[in-house]
Structure 1
Amino acid sequence: MGAVGLLYVGAVLFLNGLMLLGKVEARAAGVFNLFVGALQVVTPTVLIISALDDTATILGASGIYLFGFTYLYVGINLLGGFDTTGVGYFSLFVAVMALGYSYANFQILGDPAFGVIWLYWSFLWGLFFVLLGLKRAQITRYTGWVTAIQGWVTAAIPAFMILAGFWRNTGLIAIVLAVFGVVAFVALWPLTRGREPAGATPSTSEEPRRAGEGTRHRPRWT
């Protein structure tokens, strides 16, 4: 069941990445964030209730709430046009907790591949903190690309491999993920620097909507 939810985490990360890159309108992305956020709250609740005091299962399921609450928070923010600071500082909490879950996957749950994936997520949510909490708009494009790529690499592809029975040899998968992450995200940095729209800053409040306005809005995260 957790793998099914992870598949749709891939979809929402990909969509949010495109939103940050200006390819998807913010309110449209907000609706899908609510869908996936609700799924990622229901899923761990069912897993924990059915775990029957299996501490490993409960540990693994507990981290899913971090993402469920993130997507619900983001969806409400995007639809309501609220200030991004709350989402940003919650992302800092997620980034720190993700380090703990990475350690748990390496040392307790015996899945080094997801140990690396949790490091990916810690990095990504750290970027969300800088972008949304500290309002450093100059990393918008970089964050958008990292988000979209992680949607596939950390969620959609691993989820499909688990569902199809291909999630084996997690040690090798961990090495491949680690090498790919370092190479891809380091290479992206110079490619995305200096490409932000002039004067781009994270919005602190919703601009008044004019009746009949037909122009496409930029994402409210940027």
Structure 2
Amino acid sequence: MASAGLLYVGAILFINGLMLLGRIPGKSAAILNLFVGALQTVVPLVLLAQAQGELAATFAAAGLFLFGFTYLYVGILQLTGISPEGLGWFSLFVAVVAVVIGILSFTLISDPLFGVIWITWAVLWFMFFLLMALGRESITAATGWFAIFCGWLTCTIPALLLLSGSFVSTPATAWVGGIIFAASFAASLFLGRARERRNRDQVGPASARGAS
């Protein structure tokens, strides 16, 4: 059940990344955010009920609420137009907790690949914090690209591997995953800066024409 939920987290990160890149209107993305947010709050409740105190299951379910509350929050913001600062500060909380879960995945759960994935999610949510709480609009495009990469690399592909019984979490796969995620982050920064330069170049000629 958690694997199926992870699949839809990948979908919503893809959609929200496109929204940040200006490809999808906010209200259009809001509906799917509400659907996935509701799913990611119901699924953990079911998992906790079935866990019967098992550490790994309880641990996984608790982390899923972070996603569910985020997407419900995003959906409500897009439909109502409420200021996003509250979601930005909540994203900082998520980033800190994700780091802790990542460390515990390495030590307590012995799941190094998901440890790397949680650290990657912490980076993404910290970018959400910078964007929405501190107003760093210059990273909007980079955050959008990184959300898209994370949607596929940390959610959709792992979910499909888990559902097919092909997911392998070892120190070797964790190193490979870490390299891939670092490369996707670097690519996101590059693509984001390229987009910002294009936007500045377009604004420049437009301003000159207006002044004339």
Give the TM-score taking structure 2 as reference length: 0.90
Residue 157 of structure 2 is aligned to residue 157 of structure 1: yes
SS in 1 for 2:195: coil
State the partner residue of 1:69.
69
SS in 2 for 1:176: helix
- Give the Cα–Cα distance (whole angstroms) in 2 for the partners of residues 124 and 158 of structure 1: 17
- Please identify which structure carries the higher helix content: 2
Taking only the aligned residue pairs, the percentage that are identical comes to: 48
State the partner residue of 1:60.
60
State the partner residue of 2:31.
31
- Give the Cα–Cα distance (whole angstroms) in 2 for the partners of residues 80 and 18 of structure 1: 20
State the partner residue of 2:204.
none
Q: Which runs of 4+ in 1 moved over 4 A?
A: none
Structure with larger RCO (C-alpha < 8 A, sep 6+): 1
Aligned partners of 1:18 and 1:144 also within 8 Å = yes
State the partner residue of 1:126.
126
Residue 138 of structure 2 is aligned to residue 138 of structure 1: yes
State the partner residue of 1:19.
19
How far off is 1:169 after superposition? 4.5
State the partner residue of 1:106.
106
User: For structure 1, which segment, 155-164 or 183-192, has the greater mean C-alpha deviation from structure 2 after superposition?
Assistant: 183-192
Structure 2, unpaired ranges of 5+: 201-212
State the partner residue of 2:88.
88
How far off is 1:159 after superposition? 0.3
SS in 1 for 2:51: coil
Instruction: Indicate the RMSD between aligned Cα atoms, in angstroms.
Output: 1.2
SS in 2 for 1:63: helix
How far off is 1:57 after superposition? 1.3
SS in 2 for 1:177: helix
How far off is 1:91 after superposition? 0.2
Aligned partners of 1:17 and 1:147 also within 8 Å = yes
Structure 1, unpaired ranges of 5+: 199-222
- Give the Cα–Cα distance (whole angstroms) in 2 for the partners of residues 111 and 184 of structure 1: 22
Change (3 A) 1:169 1:64: closer
How far off is 1:176 after superposition? 1.3
State the partner residue of 2:208.
none
State the partner residue of 1:180.
180
How far off is 1:135 after superposition? 0.9
- Give the Cα–Cα distance (whole angstroms) in 2 for the partners of residues 136 and 108 of structure 1: 36
- Give the Cα–Cα distance (whole angstroms) in 2 for the partners of residues 39 and 150 of structure 1: 19
Aligned partners of 1:73 and 1:87 also within 8 Å = yes
- Give the Cα–Cα distance (whole angstroms) in 2 for the partners of residues 151 and 190 of structure 1: 18
How far off is 1:173 after superposition? 2.2
Residue 44 of structure 2 is aligned to residue 44 of structure 1: yes
How far off is 1:182 after superposition? 1.6
- Give the Cα–Cα distance (whole angstroms) in 2 for the partners of residues 187 and 74 of structure 1: 25
Aligned partners of 1:138 and 1:194 also within 8 Å = no
Corresponding letter in the other structure for 1:26:
G
SS in 2 for 1:50: helix
